[in-house]
């Protein structure tokens, strides 16, 4: 998602530095942005000049010390608390004192990430939806210590990205995944219990409820490991068995069937 986030910032006039521990990922991210923008130029929804300007605003950072020049940092690393906390502690030591540290976490507590920094009042959740350049929503999650001033600044920035910000408080899954993931998990239970097959479950939700993608296709799109992780976060965070992950979801993840990214999930994809 990092590349998608970088794209929307650059397209809205911001100078953006992209950093990843593995430079191959940053390179891949820039190539993806380039490809998507060229497609837009081909369709006529973006001019060649705008394409050039957006690409010029994107910079590949070789070192995390690029944080020293940032006003806002949006982290989009793997959904592991210890990894996020290590990165936030490092960013906190590098970035100027005015810099806001945002996380794109899909369900981890903002307050717990903020706790490892010396500036919890400037730590906030900016939860983008996939695919980032297309989806309008950004959940803005206030940690326990996030100030109104920081919230307002991030809210205004989100509007400048041509996205719609929604204010959310820091509880497991926020709003999006607290509602979406139990629906996906229930679709997996429906398959597990033999009520209907994959195609038909998705067809019911697409044609019956006008969802753009069926829940199993959407699960494959998000990644089954991510879906399982979010269900576990809800289950643990609320201590309520209504959030127990379906055994079939666990089984697929154990098999390495993670959805689109591995070529196999509930459906099969060309990689």
Nearer to ligand CAA, 92 or 139 (CB): 139
- The question of whether 139 is a catalytic residue gets the answer yes
CB of 147 to ligand CAA, least distance (A): 25
CA 178 to each of CA 6, 157, 203: distance values in angstroms, whole numbers, following the listed order: 26, 25, 23
Q: What token pair was written down for 12?
A: 């809205």
In this structure, the dihedral spanned by the alpha carbons of residues 174, 178, 181 and 185, taken in order and rounded to 10 degrees, is 150
Please give the residues from 46 up to 105 whose contact with ligand CAA meets the rule CB under 6 A: none
- The question of whether 177 is a catalytic residue gets the answer yes
Q: Return contacts of 152-160, CB within 8 angstroms, 24+ apart.
A: 153/100, 154/72, 154/100, 154/102, 154/124, 154/126, 157/72, 158/126, 160/12, 160/13
Under the binding rule (CB under 6 A), the answer on residue 129 touching ligand CAA is yes
- Give yes or no for a contact between 180 and 137, defined as CB atoms under 8 angstroms apart: no
- The question of whether 106 is a catalytic residue gets the answer yes
From the candidates 17, 106, 107, 185, give the one annotated as an active-site residue: 106
State which of residues 12, 50, 89, 133 lies at the interface with ligand CAA (CB under 6 A). Answer: 133
Specify the DSSP element, H or E, that contains 73.
strand 72-75
CA 241 to each of CA 172, 218, 223, 232, 245: distance values in angstroms, whole numbers, following the listed order: 14, 23, 22, 10, 9
Stretch that binds ligand CAA, among 133-141, 154-162, 200-208, 234-242 (CB under 6 A): 133-141
Under the binding rule (CB under 6 A), the answer on residue 172 touching ligand CAA is no
From the candidates 104, 107, 127, 185, give the one annotated as an active-site residue: 127
- The question of whether 127 is a catalytic residue gets the answer yes
State which of residues 23, 27, 45, 197 lies at the interface with ligand CAA (CB under 6 A). Answer: 45
Q: Which residues are catalytic?
A: 106, 127, 139, 177
Binding positions for ligand CAA, rule: CB under 6 A = 36, 43, 45, 106, 129-131, 133-135, 176-177, 180, 212-213, 218, 222, 226
């Amino acid at each position: 998602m990092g590349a998608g986030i970088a794209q929307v910032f650059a397209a809205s006039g911001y100078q953006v530095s992209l950093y990843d521990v593995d430079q191959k990922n940053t390179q891949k991210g820039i190539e993806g942005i380039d490809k998507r923008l060229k497609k837009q130029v081909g369709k006529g929804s973006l001019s060649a000049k705008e394409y050039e300007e957006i690409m010029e605003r994107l910079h590949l950072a070789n070192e995390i010390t690029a944080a020293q020049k940032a006003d806002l940092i949006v982290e989009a690393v793997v959904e592991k608390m210890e990894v996020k906390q290590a990165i936030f502690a490092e960013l906190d030591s590098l970035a100027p004192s005015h810099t806001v540290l945002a996380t794109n976490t899909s369900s981890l507590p903002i307050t717990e990430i903020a706790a490892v920094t010396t500036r919890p009042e400037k730590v906030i959740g900016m939860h983008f939806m996939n695919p980032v350049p297309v989806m309008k929503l950004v959940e803005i999650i206030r940690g326990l210590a996030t100030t109104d001033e920081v919230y307002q600044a991030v809210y205004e920035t989100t509007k400048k990205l041509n996205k719609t910000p929604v204010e959310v408080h820091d509880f497991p899954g926020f709003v999006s995944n607290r509602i979406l993931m139990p629906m996906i998990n229930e679709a997996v239970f429906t398959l597990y219990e033999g009520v209907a097959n994959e195609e038909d479950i998705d067809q019911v939700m697409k044609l019956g409820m006008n969802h753009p993608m069926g829940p199993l296709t959407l699960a494959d799109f998000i990644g089954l490991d991510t879906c399982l992780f979010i269900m576990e976060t809800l289950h643990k965070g609320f201590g309520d068995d209504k959030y127990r992950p379906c055994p079939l979801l666990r089984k697929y993840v154990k098999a390495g069937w993670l959805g689109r990214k591995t070529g196999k999930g509930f459906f099969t994809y060309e990689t």
